[in-house]
Chains A and B, each alone.
Chain A
Amino acid sequence: MVGIIVIIFLAAGIFFMSTGAIGLLRLPDFYTRLHATGKCDTLGEVLIITGLLIYHLFHYPETPLVPVKLLFLIVFIFLANPTATHAIMKAAYNTGVKPWKVGDKRM
């Protein structure tokens, strides 16, 4: 039962991370690529680490302090990943990277 829940979490995380990677490859310019990866990767990683945390709680109950590390990792990813995306996007906007419009060539 716990295994099924863990597999559902891992599959959802893999789905979101694949969507982010495909968006990074397929979308036409820099801003839309970061729009795809900034959210999909954060959610996918948090889902995968949540599944592993549930697995650890039920399979290794003798070491209850290791999931705290994973909890720190989840909180840090939720804080840091959108911040890094925002910083690199603001730097690109201030240095004059133009957004893509309909009809332009793919950049």
Chain B
Amino acid sequence: MREVFLVVGLLIAFTILLSLYRAAFGPGVFNRVAAVNVIGTKTIVLLVLIGYYFERPYFFDLSLLYALLNFIGTLIFAKYLERGEVWSG
């Protein structure tokens, strides 16, 4: 099964590479933020696959942490781009 995990991880890395085009050349800041969010959510699955490939379950904690940070980061970016400030009373 380790070969299957390797192939699936490489395919996910290829889809991340496809999304990176939109993050680099996408017109406007919203396309870039959306592409970064997509890359982050693909990275969660890639971390879980790496954990199974190397047989180390500590990577699942890392993927949980990455999911939380990606969600918070996208929400803060959306709020900042909409209002021009992060803390509004």
Contacts and interface: CB of A to CB of B under 8 A. Distances in A.
Contacts of B22: 24-25, 33
B32 to A, nearest CB: 10
Interface residues of B, number: 42
Chain A contact residues, majority secondary structure: helix
Chain B contact residues, majority secondary structure: helix
Contacts of A81: 41, 71
Bin the interface of chain A by size: 35 or more
B1 A55 contact: yes
B48 A52 contact: yes
Contact of A77 (B18, B19, B41, B61): B41
Contacts of B28: 30, 97, 107
Interface of A: 3, 6-7, 10, 13-14, 17-18, 20-22, 24-25, 30, 33-34, 37, 41-42, 44-45, 48-49, 52, 55-56, 59, 63, 66, 69-70, 72-73, 76-77, 80-81, 83-85, 87-88, 90-92, 94-95, 97, 107
5 contacts: A24-B18, A33-B31, A37-B34, A45-B41, A88-B74
